[in-house]
Amino acid sequence: MSIAWRGITWGLIFLMGGLIFLVIPTYLVVTFWVFLNEITINGNPVYTYALFAIFLYIICILVGAIFITAMIRAFIQRNNPDLGIPNGVKGAALITDIIVIGIMVLVYFFTGSIAFFSLKPP
């Protein structure tokens, strides 16, 4: 594989990882936000779950931004043998892509619905 194709391939992997960390959490937070705010114990609202969801959403946005930045760097430096992207970022993007795409394929194979996007609040 030539050097340019290696950079483009890593850029596409980072793009998929960034989209995973930006699209799926956004959908889940928007879908479940009202449900999380309506949870009550003895008539008192419990906002801890909503705050925890916001915390995880902010973390996902940061990780997605890291992957998008790595994608831009991979595309710009595609002709350089050393892309300058840490191996941890490469490994995290690759493993995330494999796991999430695997889960989506398995759920679609067994249930006929798209994983994560078929979830509805109770």
pLDDT tens readout for residues 88-121: 889 999 999 999 999 999 999 999 998 888 888 8
User: Of 25, 19, 117, whose CA–CA distance to 65 is shortest?
Assistant: 19
116 occurs within a structural domain: no
Q: Classify 82 as helix, strand or coil.
A: coil
Q: Classify 80 as helix, strand or coil.
A: coil
pLDDT at residue 3 in the model? 72
Cβ-contact 101, 12 below 8 angstroms = no
Residue with tokens 């902010």: 58
Domain count for the chain, please give it: 1
48 occurs within a structural domain: yes
pLDDT over 90, % of the chain: 59
- Give me the mean pLDDT over the 75-94 stretch: 86
pLDDT over 70, % of the chain: 99
92 occurs within a structural domain: yes
103 occurs within a structural domain: yes
Rounded to 10°, the helix 87-111/3-37 angle is 60
74 occurs within a structural domain: yes
User: Of 23, 113, 18, 8, whose CA–CA distance to 63 is shortest?
Assistant: 18
47 occurs within a structural domain: yes
Q: Is 70 exceeded by the pLDDT of residue 1?
A: no
Residue 69 belongs to domain spanning: 3-111
119 occurs within a structural domain: no
62 occurs within a structural domain: yes
Residue partners of 117: CB distance under 8 A and separation at least 6: 24, 27
